[in-house]
Amino acid sequence: MGTRQILNEAGDMEVVAEAADAAEALDAVRATHPDVVLVDIRLPDRNGIELAASVAEQEPTTKVVILSAYDDEDYVRAAIDAGVAGYLLKTMPGDELVRAVRAAASGTTVLDPAVTANLTRPRAAAQPQGTMASLTWREQQVVQLVADGLANKTIATRLGISARTVEGHLNHVFVKLDVTSRTELVRLALNDAANRRSGAGD
């Protein structure tokens, strides 16, 4: 609601549709042919990068800008590879967001300064996507506690972080491992642990 208000108050732009998931978003894009679509990374049915690729394929004149709370380098690079017009963070001030949307509409690629800084850092050795080894140390901690049956608030207390940060880590994990539920995640974590024990025994 805050983002909609910021954009509508800009004077030269209008929010023509909102959507709760990727399927609704695609329907809205086909119905309204917007100049710019703002997409979050984590959606109930798909991730935002997949949605961005679908929009680019179905409505090539529509610019897609990722608007996320997370500046994960892998997400940013994947988004750029999917052809997005920009990657912005939700912490961006409203006036800068408006300028970025205008720039994206005119064909300029827009990146949040924090995102740009991440991209200029040397990359760590990549681990295969879809494996526990591809997760950061903190993400692996969160996954282990989820596998232990703990709720987000309990995990947050255990790790000394906020419940929202736990949710953010899980959003990353879900996309990286291509899972859609905690049940799938726990099953994957248990299988990984069993495989590692088996490997150690060999």
Tens of pLDDT along 122-171? 555 444 556 777 787 788 889 989 998 999 999 988 888 788 888 888 88
Domain 2-119: give its CATH code: 3.40.50.2300
Averaged confidence pLDDT in the chain: 84
CATH topology of 2-119 equal to that of 132-195?
Answer: no
Mean pLDDT calculated for residue range 84-113: 90
Any idea which architecture 132-195 has in CATH? Orthogonal Bundle (1.10)
With contact defined as beta carbons under 8 Å apart, do 105 and 36 qualify?
A: yes
Domain boundary assignment for the chain: 2-119, 132-195
pTM of the model: 0.61
